[in-house]
A and B are shown apart, each in its own frame.
Chain A
Amino acid sequence: MASGEAKQNQWADKKVFTTGEAAQVCKVSQQTIIRCFDSGRLTGFRVPGSKFRRIPRAELMRFMKTNGIPLDSIEGGRKRVLIVDDDEAINGLLVDVLTRDGQFEVETALTGYEAGLLTESFKPHVIILDYMLPDINGNVVCERIKNRESTRDIKILFISGVVDEQEIRALLESGADDFIKKPFDIDDIASRIHDLLESPAV
Chain B
Amino acid sequence: MTDRQADRARQIETILQQVDRLPTLSPIAARLLEVTDVDDVDLAQVAQLIETDVALSATVLKLVRAADLGLSHRITSVKQAIMLLGLDTVRSAVLSVEVLDLFEVRSSAQDLSTQTGFDNHGFWKHAVAVACASQLLAKESSDPEVEPDMAFLAGLLHGLGKLVLHMVLPQAYDRALAIAEQKHAKGASVERAILGIDHHTVGRRLADRWGLPHWLRDVIWFNGQPLEAVPGSAPRSMIATVSLASAWCQKHHLGWSGDFAADAPIGSFAEAASIPAAKLPDLVQHLLEDIVDRESIIGLGSETPPEALLQAIARANQRLGSLNASLEKQARAGRRRELIARYTATFLDQLDCGQPMEKTLASIRRSAASLFGATYCGIVWRSSTDGSCRFMHAGASCDDEHPHAVTLPLMKQRLREILGPSGGMGVAASSVLPCLDSFFDGAAEVESVRVFPIAIDDDIEVILIHNAELSGWNERTDLGPMRSVWASSVRAASVINRSRGLEDDLATANRALGEMQSELAERASMARLGEMTAGAAHEMNNPLAVIHGRAQMLCSKLEGTELGGCAAAIAASAADLSDLITDLNVLARMSEPTLALSDATEVVRDALALATDRIGHPIEVEVEIDAEAGSMVTDRKLLAHALEELFVNAHEACSAEKVRMRVHADPDAGRLYFRIEDRGCGLSEKALRHAFDPFFSEKPAGRQRGFGLAKARRGIELLGGRIWVEARQGGGTAACIALNLDPSIASAA
Asked if A pairs with B, the answer is yes
Interface residues of B in 574-588 (CB under 8 A from A): 574-575, 578, 581-582, 585-586
Q: Which one of B549, B556, B585 contacts A163 once the chains associate, using CB atoms below 8 Å?
A: B585
Chain B CB within 8 A of A162 CB: yes
Interface residues of B in 543-562 (CB under 8 A from A): 543-550, 552-553, 556
Which residues in B have their C-beta under 8 angstroms from that of A161?
537-542, 544-545
Which residues in A have their C-beta under 8 angstroms from that of B538?
132, 160-162
> Could you tell me if B546 and A89 are in contact, using CB atoms closer than 8 angstroms?
yes
Interface string of A66-109 (1 = CB under 8 A from B): 00000000000000000000010110011011001000000000
> Could you tell me if B542 and A90 are in contact, using CB atoms closer than 8 angstroms?
yes
- Docked Cα-Cα span, A163 to B578, in Å, equals 10
Given A89-B546, A164-B534: A183 touches B541 (CB 8 Å cut-off): yes
Interface residues of A in 127-178 (CB under 8 A from B): 132, 159-164
Q: Which residue of A lies closest to B538 (CB)?
A: A161
> Could you tell me if B549 and A183 are in contact, using CB atoms closer than 8 angstroms?
yes
How many chain B residues touch the partner (CB < 8 A)? 26
How many chain A residues touch the partner (CB < 8 A)? 22
- Docked Cα-Cα span, A96 to B545, in Å, equals 14
Chain A CB within 8 A of B589 CB: yes
- Docked Cα-Cα span, A164 to B581, in Å, equals 12
Which residues in A have their C-beta under 8 angstroms from that of B545?
90, 93, 159, 161, 182-184
- Docked Cα-Cα span, A182 to B544, in Å, equals 8
Chain B CB within 8 A of A36 CB: no
> Could you tell me if A93 and B544 are in contact, using CB atoms closer than 8 angstroms?
no
Which residues in B have their C-beta under 8 angstroms from that of A132?
538
> Could you tell me if A93 and B540 are in contact, using CB atoms closer than 8 angstroms?
no
- Docked Cα-Cα span, A181 to B579, in Å, equals 11
> Could you tell me if A184 and B549 are in contact, using CB atoms closer than 8 angstroms?
yes
Which residues in A have their C-beta under 8 angstroms from that of B550?
93
Which residues in A have their C-beta under 8 angstroms from that of B544?
161, 182-183
> Could you tell me if A183 and B548 are in contact, using CB atoms closer than 8 angstroms?
yes
Q: Which one of A97, A162, A181 contacts B549 once the chains associate, using CB atoms below 8 Å?
A: A97
- Docked Cα-Cα span, A142 to B556, in Å, equals 33
CB A111 to nearest CB in B, in angstroms, measures 16
CB B84 to nearest CB in A, in angstroms, measures 135
Given A96-B553, A97-B553: A183 touches B578 (CB 8 Å cut-off): yes
Interface string of B580-608 (1 = CB under 8 A from A): 01100110010000000000000000000
Chain B CB within 8 A of A6 CB: no
CB A86 to nearest CB in B, in angstroms, measures 9
Interface string of A170-202 (1 = CB under 8 A from B): 000000000001111111000000000000000
Q: Which one of B552, B574, B578, B589 contacts A186 once the chains associate, using CB atoms below 8 Å?
A: B552
- Docked Cα-Cα span, A100 to B578, in Å, equals 26
> Could you tell me if B537 and A163 are in contact, using CB atoms closer than 8 angstroms?
yes
Which residues in A have their C-beta under 8 angstroms from that of B585?
163-164
Given A97-B549, A161-B537: A182 touches B542 (CB 8 Å cut-off): yes
- Docked Cα-Cα span, A90 to B542, in Å, equals 7
Interface residues of A in 39-78 (CB under 8 A from B): none
Given A90-B542, A163-B582: A184 touches B548 (CB 8 Å cut-off): yes
Q: Which one of B546, B575, B586, B589 contacts A93 once the chains associate, using CB atoms below 8 Å?
A: B546
Which residues in A have their C-beta under 8 angstroms from that of B581?
163
- Docked Cα-Cα span, A94 to B550, in Å, equals 10
Q: Which residue of B lies closest to A91 (CB)?
A: B546
> Could you tell me if B543 and A89 are in contact, using CB atoms closer than 8 angstroms?
yes
Most A-side CB within 10 Å, residue of B541, B549, B556, B581 = B549
Most B-side CB within 10 Å, residue of A164, A182, A183 = A183
CB B455 to nearest CB in A, in angstroms, measures 65
Which residues in B have their C-beta under 8 angstroms from that of A183?
541, 544-549, 574-575, 578
> Could you tell me if B549 and A93 are in contact, using CB atoms closer than 8 angstroms?
yes
> Could you tell me if B534 and A162 are in contact, using CB atoms closer than 8 angstroms?
yes
- Docked Cα-Cα span, A187 to B574, in Å, equals 16
- Docked Cα-Cα span, A173 to B545, in Å, equals 25
Q: Which residue of B lies closest to A100 (CB)?
A: B553
- Docked Cα-Cα span, A161 to B545, in Å, equals 9
- Docked Cα-Cα span, A100 to B553, in Å, equals 10
Which residues in B have their C-beta under 8 angstroms from that of A87?
542, 546
> Could you tell me if A186 and B542 are in contact, using CB atoms closer than 8 angstroms?
no
Which residues in A have their C-beta under 8 angstroms from that of B574?
183
> Could you tell me if B546 and A90 are in contact, using CB atoms closer than 8 angstroms?
yes
- Docked Cα-Cα span, A90 to B548, in Å, equals 11
Which residues in B have their C-beta under 8 angstroms from that of A186?
549, 552-553, 556
> Could you tell me if A182 and B541 are in contact, using CB atoms closer than 8 angstroms?
yes
- Docked Cα-Cα span, A186 to B534, in Å, equals 24
- Docked Cα-Cα span, A186 to B555, in Å, equals 11
Most A-side CB within 10 Å, residue of B539, B542, B544 = B542
Q: Which residue of A lies closest to B577 (CB)?
A: A183
Q: Which residue of A lies closest to B544 (CB)?
A: A183
Which residues in B have their C-beta under 8 angstroms from that of A181?
541
- Docked Cα-Cα span, A96 to B554, in Å, equals 12
CB A91 to nearest CB in B, in angstroms, measures 10
CB A37 to nearest CB in B, in angstroms, measures 49
Interface residues of B in 347-361 (CB under 8 A from A): none
- Docked Cα-Cα span, A89 to B549, in Å, equals 10
Which residues in B have their C-beta under 8 angstroms from that of A185?
548, 552
> Could you tell me if B537 and A162 are in contact, using CB atoms closer than 8 angstroms?
yes
- Docked Cα-Cα span, A37 to B488, in Å, equals 115
- Docked Cα-Cα span, A162 to B536, in Å, equals 9
> Could you tell me if B542 and A89 are in contact, using CB atoms closer than 8 angstroms?
yes
Which residues in B have their C-beta under 8 angstroms from that of A164?
534, 585, 589
- Docked Cα-Cα span, A186 to B549, in Å, equals 6
Which residues in A have their C-beta under 8 angstroms from that of B549?
93-94, 97, 183-184, 186
Q: Which residue of B lies closest to A92 (CB)?
A: B546
Q: Which residue of B lies closest to A130 (CB)?
A: B542
CB A135 to nearest CB in B, in angstroms, measures 16
Which residues in B have their C-beta under 8 angstroms from that of A160?
538, 541
- Residues on B close to A: CB < 8 A? 534, 537-550, 552-553, 556, 574-575, 578, 581-582, 585-586, 589
Pairs of residues from A and B, 5 with the lowest C-beta to C-beta distance, nearest first: A161-B541, A183-B548, A183-B545, A182-B545, A161-B538
Beyond the given pairs A97-B553, A183-B547, A183-B578, 4 more chain A to chain B contacts, judged by CB atoms under 8 angstroms and listed by A's residue number, are A94-B549, A132-B538, A162-B538, A183-B575
Could you list some 5 contacts between A and B, CB below 8 A? A87-B542, A97-B549, A159-B545, A163-B585, A185-B548
